[in-house]
Amino acid sequence: MSVKEVRGLAMQTFWMLHRNIDRISAERDQRSALVQMQSQSTDGVKNLMEDLRKQMGTIIEFEETAPTKLDRKALHALDAIGDLTNNAYPG
């Protein structure tokens, strides 16, 4: 945020954002301490890695298949829909 934008905030909003910065910093510090403590033992590292994988979740899974062919008819249908919506309300 720029200084001008910060000055335009209501005081209550400014202090709420300020507290969030402190909260996020504390959360980061807590995680660092946890990682350091758990990295001292083999079981701790295994548990930490398992917990981190659960937190990350599955980002993306896919199976590689043969390249698919572009469906030109479907593409033109989508273009037609776009033309309808763009011209529905002439300026």
Nearest residue to 49 (alpha-carbon basis) of 34, 61, 62: 34
Query: How many angstroms separate the CA atoms of 7 and 12, rounded?
Result: 12
Radius of gyration (C-alpha) of the chain in whole angstroms? 25
pLDDT of 29: 92
pLDDT of 91: 46
Q: What is the pTM of this model?
A: 0.40
Per-residue pLDDT of the chain (91 residues; tens, 9 = 90+): 788 887 777 888 888 888 889 889 998 999 899 888 888 888 888 888 888 888 888 777 777 777 778 888 988 888 888 776 555 555 4
Give me the phi and psi of 67, to 5 degrees please: -55, 140
